[in-house]
């Protein structure tokens, strides 16, 4: 007689189900942030050439990542226009008339578009988006004291928005914000990021230059929304090109574009608000 099957063992065995670990990348993200945040803060605090160099390095890396999206190399013509024009725009923003810098950016974008085969708009779009962000970051920090306050204000709001959205989204979950673009983002995360940005903005303004707390909160909310919009835009771009991360340069975060998506969207708005506030004035006054 053959041996009877072990019914108990057969029925008790269950397929292993992997339990979601929503915080699994928190340690790696924290380690990367511990390295990057002091560098960024030191660059903002120092300003001048050091800040311009840091922004320039970020711009070159961003153009490299964008060119990879498009299947191009920034070391070959005409894709080399992406870093070249972006850096020249930054130099003009730092040492020349800002309008000339914007004119160069517009001209470089148009030329790159015309040089691309089959009228591919994406390399030119990347040049304009990255060049405008570099221009804005250099111009925003250009003024000594007010530039320091305005840049710190913007960066702290973006960090607060990112952190608040990450914590609220992972802890609360709920309805998806834009499932067709980024399935991981939720309305709870967006609300948490906006709340954190508003509170940190109002508190930061009172610490850096007291007065105008309600205006600071409103501007912080605007910049928080711009930061989240930049995050969604990056998700849409990566989905268009079928990539998960812009690169693997930053452990836990992906690439430079993954880390600076909010800054790239918020910096032009912050710079415009600073220009409206007037030279030498915090943008919330």
Tell me, what's the pLDDT at 28? 66
Q: How confident is the model at residue 169 (pLDDT cuts 50, 70, 90)?
A: confident
% residues pLDDT > 70 (the chain): 88
Tell me, what's the pLDDT at 181? 86
C-alpha 187/C-alpha 181 separation (Å) is 14
Tell me, what's the pLDDT at 277? 87
Terminal-to-terminal C-alpha distance of the chain:
92
CB-based contact 187:241 (threshold 8 Å): no
- In sequence order, the β-bridge partners of residue 186 are 176
% residues pLDDT > 90 (the chain): 55
Q: How confident is the model at residue 57 (pLDDT cuts 50, 70, 90)?
A: very high
* Residue 278 clears pLDDT 70, i.e. is over it: yes
Q: How many CA atoms lie within 13 A of 103 on its CB side?
A: 6
Collect all residues with Cβ–Cβ distance below 8 Å to 11 and sequence separation of at least 6: none
| Residue 182 C-alpha from the chain's centroid | 15
**Tens digits of per-residue pLDDT, 111-152?**
999 998 777 899 999 999 999 999 999 999 987 889 999 999
- In sequence order, the β-bridge partners of residue 188 are none
* Residue 3 clears pLDDT 80, i.e. is over it: no
Tell me, what's the pLDDT at 114? 93
| Stretch 203-223: mean pLDDT | 90
Q: Which residue has the higher pLDDT, 15 or 129?
A: 129
**Tens digits of per-residue pLDDT, 226-269?**
999 999 999 999 999 888 888 878 766 678 998 899 999 999 99
Tell me, what's the pLDDT at 171? 86
Tell me, what's the pLDDT at 18? 40
Could you state, in order of their start, the residue ranges of all structural domains in the chain? Answer: 46-142, 144-285
The per-residue DSSP string of 24-66 comes to TTHHHHHHHHHHHHHHHHHHHHH-HHHHHHHHHHHHHHHHHHH
**Tens digits of per-residue pLDDT, 170-179?**
888 888 888 8
* Residue 13 clears pLDDT 50, i.e. is over it: no
Q: How confident is the model at residue 27 (pLDDT cuts 50, 70, 90)?
A: low
Q: Return the number of other C-beta atoms located less than 10 Å from residue 68's C-beta.
A: 17
Tell me, what's the pLDDT at 194? 94
Q: How confident is the model at residue 32 (pLDDT cuts 50, 70, 90)?
A: low
Tell me, what's the pLDDT at 148? 94
Q: Which residue has the higher pLDDT, 85 or 280?
A: 85
Distances from the Cα of 146 to the Cαs of 96, 133, 222, 261, 281, in angstroms?
Answer: 19, 19, 20, 24, 6
Q: Which residue has the higher pLDDT, 4 or 146?
A: 146
């Amino acid at each position: 007689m053959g041996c009877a099957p072990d019914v108990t063992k057969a029925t008790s065995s269950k397929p292993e189900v992997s339990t979601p670990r929503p915080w699994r990348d928190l340690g790696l993200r924290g380690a990367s942030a511990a390295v990057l945040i002091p560098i960024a803060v030191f660059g903002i605090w120092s300003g001048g050439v050091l800040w311009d160099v840091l922004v320039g390095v970020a711009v070159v890396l961003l153009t490299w990542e964008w060119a990879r999206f498009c299947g191009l190399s920034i070391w070959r013509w005409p894709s080399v226009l992406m870093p070249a024009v972006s850096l020249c725009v930054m130099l003009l923003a730092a040492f020349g008339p800002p309008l000339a810098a914007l004119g160069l950016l517009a001209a470089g974008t148009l030329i790159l578009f015309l040089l691309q085969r089959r009228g591919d708009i994406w390399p030119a779009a990347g040049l304009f988006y990255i060049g405008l962000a570099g221009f804005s970051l250099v111009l925003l920090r250009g003024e000594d004291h007010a530039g320091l306050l305005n840049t710190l204000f913007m960066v702290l709001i973006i960090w607060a928005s990112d952190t608040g959205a990450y914590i609220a989204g992972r802890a609360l979950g709920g309805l998806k914000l834009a499932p067709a673009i980024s399935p991981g983002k939720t309305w709870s995360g967006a609300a948490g990021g906006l709340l954190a940005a508003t509170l940190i903005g109002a508190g930061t303004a009172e610490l850096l230059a007291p007065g105008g707390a309600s205006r600071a909160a409103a501007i912080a909310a605007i910049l928080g929304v711009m930061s989240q919009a930049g995050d969604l835009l990056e998700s849409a771009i990566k989905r268009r090109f079928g990539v998960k991360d812009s690169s693997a340069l930053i452990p836990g975060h992906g690439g430079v574009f993954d880390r600076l998506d909010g800054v790239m969207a918020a910096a032009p708005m912050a710079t415009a608000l600073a220009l409206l506030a007037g030279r030498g004035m915090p943008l919330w006054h």
